[in-house]
Structures are given as structure tokens and as C-alpha cells.
Amino acid sequence: MAVSAIKRIFALALVFAALTLSAQDNENLDDGAQPKATSTAGTATGEPKESTEPALKPKTNTTSTNRSVTTSESTSTTSTSSNSQSIEAGNELYINSKTSFELKAQDDSSMVDYIEYKINNGEFIKYSKPIIISQEGIAQLTYRSVDRAGNIEPSKLLTVVVDNSPPSVVIVPTEPLFITQGANYTSKNNTFSFKAEDSLSGVGAIEYAINDASPATYAQDNPIRVEKDGSNLIRYSATDNSGNKSRESSVAVIIDNKPPVVEIIPNVPLVDIDGKTYSKKGNTFQIRAFDGESGVRRVLIKVDGEADFRPYVEGIIVDAQGEHKIEAKGIDNVGNESEVKSVTFLVDVNPPASEIKKIVEEKK
């Protein structure tokens, strides 16, 4: 009887000790202890409450294609890519579908059992290889680690904007180009700016090059200028904040820096009498302008000191007595203006006066 009583007391003591240890373990789990991790195998357990989505902020260009998400403050010793870049949970990124993410975890006590993740409202799945998000738009990557003692890390959230579409970009001249026979003419005084749009991640940079020059980054509100006379090629492209680059576009422009040549031509040639130039009454003056590049847009004239130039329409006839002056200039289709040509002459409308006299012969 004494032996049986001792056995019962010993059994009760073992049960009490087991219950005490179980209660302490549950207490540890309820306290939400955060393990640190380094493994990728195991089975998913309960789902903790998810954190809310943070607000999006513009980001600069990212060029690496593999990023590391670390789930603890300590540095992980495992890496799946030599190009991996550590980021902190809670940050937002602009990416494309060429971007991948690796998860790393570390635990100082019972070792990491596995890491799991989910995209948006999907189910948690065990992490085994770099994560790629292919669908465009805003996506939430939720991840957590579990150690071998069953401790579940509170979920962490990374918000990304997936943008697989390149931006659109156009070139905008300050002054319209003059197009004739498929050629784009402009003057060297014209400037060019670029406008790009991207609906998801936003425009990161615009690059351009003139002729054989190396590409340069376009600075907003700083239009470029093409200085070389003759034919030029402007090449340009844009890259968004997710690294998508548009196809290179180009436009050929011809810089016309030569003004028109203007002539004033009378129907009847002017004559020089005693060092003075005379025009015959009723003479007509024609204005001709020539331009071998973009062509003549208009011809302007002034007659006898008029205050302003006016468009030349037809031949000019000057019949009034006295001295006269005709001025003319031409403007081509890109705005080059010729020198002012002028001619000064006299018109004599008064006929000479003649008389007749009787010749008286002298008597011999």
C-alpha cells in the first residue's frame, strides 16, 4: 500500500509539472515574441492580423533586379543573389516584373522553420525562391517567419507599384517647324523641349542626343538648342521610375540660317544725268525675293519714308514730281530676315519749255 501511494504521488507530480510547462509555453506565444530566421521549409500555421497599406510616395529609379527583405534587425547571413539590395518592411517601391524579391530570416534560439508570404489577399505560401509580381498596379507583399518552437512573427508588409509599360515621350519645338516636301525646317534660334508621361510609376528621366553626340539627361524647363546649320538628327527616349525605357525616337531638322535675297527691279532702267538717278514717269518697280532653304514667306516694302513696312502686293508706280525712295525686305519661312534693300531716284514730270524766234539777217 505504501509503495502504491508513493507511485500515485509521483505520477501526480509529473502531471502538474507538465501542465506548468505547457502554460508557460502558451504565455510565451501570447506575448508575440518575434523570432529571427534563416530557413525556407515547413508548414504554415495560423494567420495573424494584417497591417494596413501605407501611402505611396514617388521613388527614384531602381536598377537592381533582386531585392532582399530582412525580417529582423540583425544582418542575415544568407543571400540568393550577388546583386541583392536590402530594404525595410513598410517601404514602397516602384518595380517591374523583372524585379524579384528574396526573403531572409534569423532566429537566435530555436532556429527558423520556414518563411511564408502572400500577395494581396491570396493565401500564405511557403517561400522557396525569389518572388516575382507580374500583374501591373499596386500590390501588397505580406511576409512572416515561423521558428521551430512554433513562434509566429507578426506579419510585415511591403507595398509596391508594378509598372511594365514604358513612358511616352514627345519633342516640342518652341516655334512650329516649317514642313515642305517632307523636310522640317527651323532657325537656330528655335529651342526644343521634351514632355513625357507615365501613368503608374512616373517619369524618371529623359535622355537626348544631337547627331553623333553621347546621350545627355534632359533638365526640365531648360530647352535645348541646335546650333549646326543644315541637317541635324535629334534622338530621345524616356525611362520611368520602374526602369522601363521607351523606344528611341528621332526627328530630323534642317537649320536654315540664311536670310532671303531681295532685289528691286524697275521695268524701265533708271538713268544717270549729271550724277543724279532719274526714273521715267510711269515706271513700275517690281520686288523679287529668293530663298534657297525654307523659302520666302513674305516681302515687305516702304515708300517715301512711310512709318512702317507693309506687305508687297504688286508693282510700285511713282508718278509724283521730286525725289523718291523705295525700301524692301524679305522674311523666309523660319523667320530669317534679309537686309533692307533700297533705291532712291528722281521723277521729273515737268516737260521742258521751248520757244521759237525769227532769225533776222544782217544787212550787208
Q: Are 115 and 127 in contact (CB under 8 A)?
A: yes
Q: Are 148 and 43 in contact (CB under 8 A)?
A: no
The residue among 134, 162, 190 that closes a domain is: 162
Tell whether 142 and 190 lie within a shared domain. no
Written as one letter, the residue type at 328 is: A
Residue whose grid cell is 500555421: 45
Instruction: Tell me, rounded to whole angstroms, the distance of Cα 222 from its chain centroid.
Output: 12
Alpha helices in 163-204 (DSSP H): none
Q: Any residues with CB less than 8 A from the CB of 340 and at least 6 apart, and which?
A: 327, 328, 329
Q: Are 196 and 238 in contact (CB under 8 A)?
A: yes
Residue with the bigger pLDDT between 216 and 28: it is 216
pLDDT digits (tens, 9 = 90+) for 94-120: 999 999 999 999 888 889 999 999 999
Does any domain span residue 144? Answer: yes
Does any domain span residue 20? Answer: no
Does any domain span residue 265? Answer: yes
Domain count, the chain: 3
Tell whether 314 and 338 lie within a shared domain. yes
Does any domain span residue 216? Answer: yes
Kindly report the pTM of this predicted structure.
0.66
Q: 151 lies in which domain range?
A: 66-162
Does any domain span residue 355? Answer: no
Average the pLDDT over 226-244 and give the result.
96
Share of the chain above pLDDT 90, in %: 68
Tell whether 111 and 185 lie within a shared domain. no
Tell whether 291 and 241 lie within a shared domain. no
Tell whether 218 and 305 lie within a shared domain. no
Q: Are 68 and 84 in contact (CB under 8 A)?
A: yes
Residue whose grid cell is 502572400: 118
Does any domain span residue 353? Answer: no
The residue among 130, 162, 194 that closes a domain is: 162
Does any domain span residue 42? Answer: no
- Domain with residue 91: its CATH number is 2.60.40
Q: Which residue pairs, CB below 8 angstroms and at least 24 apart, start in 84-89?
A: 87/158, 89/143, 89/156, 89/157, 89/158
Tell whether 125 and 86 lie within a shared domain. yes
Does any domain span residue 309? Answer: yes
Q: Are 137 and 66 in contact (CB under 8 A)?
A: no
Tell whether 230 and 289 lie within a shared domain. no
Tell whether 214 and 154 lie within a shared domain. no
Tell whether 201 and 251 lie within a shared domain. yes
pLDDT digits (tens, 9 = 90+) for 291-334: 999 999 999 999 999 999 999 999 999 989 999 999 999 999 99
Q: CA 71, CA 85: separation in Å to the nearest integer?
A: 14
DSSP sequence for 3-49: HHHHHHHHHHHHHHHHHHHHHHHHHHHHTT---------S---PPPP
